[in-house]
Structure formats: structure tokens, C-alpha cells
Structure 1
Amino acid sequence: MPKPYPDEFRNDVVRVARNREPGVTIEQVAKDFGVHPMTLQKWLKRADVETGSKPGQTRAEATELREARKRIRLLEQENEVLRRAAAYLSQANLPGKGTTRS
């Protein structure tokens, strides 16, 4: 997988594409910067979402959602461990099972 372009570079290319002269195509701007035209189209769409011009999930929201899902998985694992421990301990404390009481 190729390395991602730096954010500063992406922002510069998007800015140039938006402020291009009449008659200059997206393909020409992409070629000038050495990126694929579809890549530039994606960057333009993402920039629209980030600025709120178009609906969609921003990078900050995506990051927050990813971290929340990771935290949920961790809490579910901890809950499972506690559930198993409680079941084990409840079985160990039953009279007549594993204890020698006099």
C-alpha cells in the first residue's frame, strides 16, 4: 500500500484545484501535482465534508467513533472476565462442593 500524502500537501492541492482558472480541469491540476485525478476528486469531497459544505463523517468523528468502538470491545472483554469469575466463585461457595466442613 502506498504511503499517504501529507495533509499539508493534500490541502495545498485542494486549494489550487478550487481556485483554478476557468478552463483548467481537475485532471490537469492532478497531473501537475503528480496525483491521480480520482485521488484529487476524493480529496475535494473529503474537504467539503470537513468544512461542512456536504454531509458526511469528518475525520475527527471517525477517529472518535473508532476509539469508542475500541473502548466498547475492551469493556465487553472485562465484563466477560468478571461474569466468568462470578460464576466460578458462586460454584466454589456452594455447600458440599469442594469444601470439607465439619
Structure 2
Amino acid sequence: MAEKRRKYDAEFREGAVRIVLETGKPSAQVARDLGVHEGTLQTWVHRAKARVDAEARGGLDESEREELQRLREENARQRKEIAELGMERDVLKRSVVLWVKEATK
């Protein structure tokens, strides 16, 4: 029968990663000490290192990339709306000019 998947809170994961990175102990030993699967701990360590590398390079993490994409889409939508409103304004200006010319005849 399959074993139920355990969930670990962010504080526990961060602490386990810090132990591996700061003490230099092998992740297998730390995983055994904490009762975590070795592959799971290695994944946490890998993600933490990738996050640090991205920050050092000035890169974006996944949530920041998603937000950037959302903001770009919103910006494009607003630019399109502004262009349409500008065209509507121009049409109304021309209509007013024609109306004034017609009224002053």
C-alpha cells in the first residue's frame, strides 16, 4: 500500500536547507536525522541554491516572472484601449467641427 505523502511547512524546509548549506553535512545524513527522504531534501537544497543564484544575477523567480507576464498583458490591453479612445476622440472632434460649420451657415 502506498505511503501517505507528508507535508512540511516552509520554516522546516528552510531550516533543513540551512543545516545542509551551513554545516556542510551531507544531505543524506541530514535527511536521516530529520526523517525526510533524501531526494526531497536534495530538491529543497537545489531550489534554494537556484533562488540564490537568480538573486545574485538579478534574475526573477517564478512568481516574479508570472507577475511580470500579467503586467505586460495588462499593459498591452491598456495601450490598445488608449489607442481606441484616441480614435474615438478624433472622430468626435471632426463631428463637432462639421456640426459647427453646418450650424453657422
**Which band: TM-score by shorter chain?**
0.5 to 0.7
Question: What RMSD, in angstroms, separates the aligned Cα atoms of the two structures?
Answer: 3.9
Q: 1:88 to 1:21 in 2, by over 3 A?
A: closer
TM-score normalised per structure 1: 0.55
Q: Which has the higher helix share?
A: 2
Which ranges of structure 2 fall in alignment gaps of 5 or more residues? none
Deviations 1:58-93 (A, max 9, x none): 4x8324444333332222222111111111222233
Q: Does 1:8 align with 2:44?
A: no
Taking a change above 3 Å as real, the CA distance of residues 31 and 87 of structure 1, as seen in their structure-2 partners, is same
Aligned to 1:89: 89
The residue that corresponds to 2:32 in the other structure is 29
Query: 2:48: which partner in 1?
Result: 47
CA distance in 2, matches of 1:30, 1:77: 53
Does the CA contact (< 8 Å) of 2:19 and 2:25 recur in 1? Answer: no
Paired position in structure 2 for 1:78: 78
In the alignment, the residues of structure 1 paired with residue 31 and residue 95 of structure 2 have an alpha-carbon distance, to the nearest angstrom, of 82
Please report how far the alpha carbon of residue 26 of structure 1 lies from its aligned counterpart in structure 2 after TM superposition. 5.9
**Distance in 1, Cα, partners of 2:64 & 2:25:** 38
- The structure that has the greater radius of gyration is 2
Work out the CA distance in 1 between the residues paired with 2:77 and 2:34: 49
Distance (whole Å) between structure 1 residues aligned to residue 60 and residue 33 of structure 2: 28
Alpha-carbon distance between aligned partners in 1 of 2:90 and 2:17, rounded to the nearest angstrom: 62
CA contact (8 A) 1:14 1:40 kept: yes
Identity of aligned residues (%): 18
